[in-house]
Structure 1
Amino acid sequence: MKVVLCGPPHSGKSCLRHGLKQVIQALNRKGQAPYPYFITACPDGEGSWYAETVSRDPILAEKLKKNYKSKFTPEFAQRVADDVKNTPLSFNLIDVGGKIDDKNRLIMQYATHAVIISRDLSLVADWLDLCGELNLKVIAILESNLHGTEDELESEFPILRGSIHGLKRGEDVSNRLMVNKLAEVLLRLIE
């Protein structure tokens, strides 16, 4: 299973990825989930290390992010697309950039499923169209509410829908309702 975390920029994709990573790795250590492989498919300098570093040392995290940030070139996109296509692991989460363009199309074409997260639900339709074009099964549509105070679950079937609040860098979001619901949905799919 190759699941793309996609949606417009500044919607919390990387924060969601980190929360999922914490939840699923904790379950993996208990023998309740397969090992999750995370692919950072955007050269924005926010790899998996970033969320952990920013919570301990925000100044260092920003400095390193600037050093790691690079251009989103066709060569980078092809390299990541090859990683997505050829990963031998059974459970993969791919954090893509926030633009609908040829580079993300190239990367996403090898995925099987998608989670769409957006700070503005009016922008979801374009991402649904892209996922349809690439034959990706959309398993969740989440509204990111930066200033909200609690998550809201709207429905679990056939698509997980709801809102997730306060996806802020450096904040532990692994205990959020929608992060845990999404982890449950993902794990049911790979059973």
Structure 2
Amino acid sequence: MKVVLCGPPQSGKSCLREGLKQVIHALNRKGQAPYPYFITACPDGEGSWFAETARRDINEAKRYKANYKSDFTWEFTKVRAEWVRNSTEPLTVVDVGGKIDDKNRLIMQYATHAVIISRDLNLVADWLDFCGELNLKVIAILESDLHGTEDKLESEFPILRGSIHGLKRGEDVSNRPMVNKLAEVLLRLI
């Protein structure tokens, strides 16, 4: 299963990726989940190292991010698309950029499923259409509520729907109910 975390920019995709990574790795260590492979497929400079560094020193993380940030070139895109295409892990999670464009289309075409996360639910329809064009099964639609104080579960079937609060860089979100519910859904689908 190859799952894309997609949606508009500044919606918390990278924070969600990190929370999922922590939850699923912890379950993997207990023998309760397969090894998850996480791919950062956007050149925003926020690799999987960012969250851990930010928890230790946010200024250091910002400096590294500025150094690693690059242009979304076709060369970068083709390499990430090959990573997705060639992944043979039972669970691959791909964090893509926040634009509906040909570069994300190239990367996402090799995925099987999608999680749409958006800070504005009015922007979800375009992402649903994009995922539909790529024949991706949308398994979750999450509203990112930066200033909220709690997660809200609206429904689990046929699509996980709800909101997730406070996806802030450098914060541990692995204990959030929606992060754990999404991990549960992903593992159930494998």
Please tell me the TM-score bracket, short chain as reference.
Answer: over 0.9
Query: Distance in 1 between the 2:48 and 2:147 partners?
Result: 24
Query: Distance in 1 between the 2:21 and 2:79 partners?
Result: 23
Structure 2: gaps of 5 or more residues: none
Query: Distance in 1 between the 2:52 and 2:146 partners?
Result: 19
* CA offsets 1:133-173 (integer angstroms, 9 cap, x no match): 00000000000000000000000000000000000011111
Aligned length: 190
Tell me what 2:153 maps to: 153
Please give the secondary structure, in 1, of the residue aligned with 2:95.
strand
Tell me what 1:168 maps to: 168
Superposition pairs for residues 43-122 of structure 1, below 5 Å?
Answer: 43-122=43-122
Q: Give the deviation of 1:38 after TM superposition.
A: 0.3
TM score, norm. by length of structure 1: 0.99
Structure 1 stretches of 4+ with a deviation exceeding 6 A read none
Letter of the 2:117 partner, please give it: I
* CA offsets 1:55-114 (integer angstroms, 9 cap, x no match): 101111011111111100011111100110011212100000000000000000000000
Query: Distance in 1 between the 2:113 and 2:61 partners?
Result: 31
Query: Distance in 2 between the 1:69 and 1:135 partners?
Result: 30
Please give the secondary structure, in 1, of the residue aligned with 2:49.
helix
Q: Which moved more, 1:81-90 or 1:140-149?
A: 81-90
Please give the secondary structure, in 2, of the residue aligned with 1:104.
helix
TM score, norm. by length of structure 2: 0.99
Tell me what 1:132 maps to: 132
Query: Distance in 2 between the 1:6 and 1:82 partners?
Result: 18
Matched, 1:16 2:5: no
Matched, 1:144 2:169: no
Q: Give the deviation of 1:4 after TM superposition.
A: 0.0
Please give the secondary structure, in 2, of the residue aligned with 1:5.
strand
Query: Distance in 1 between the 2:120 and 2:185 partners?
Result: 23
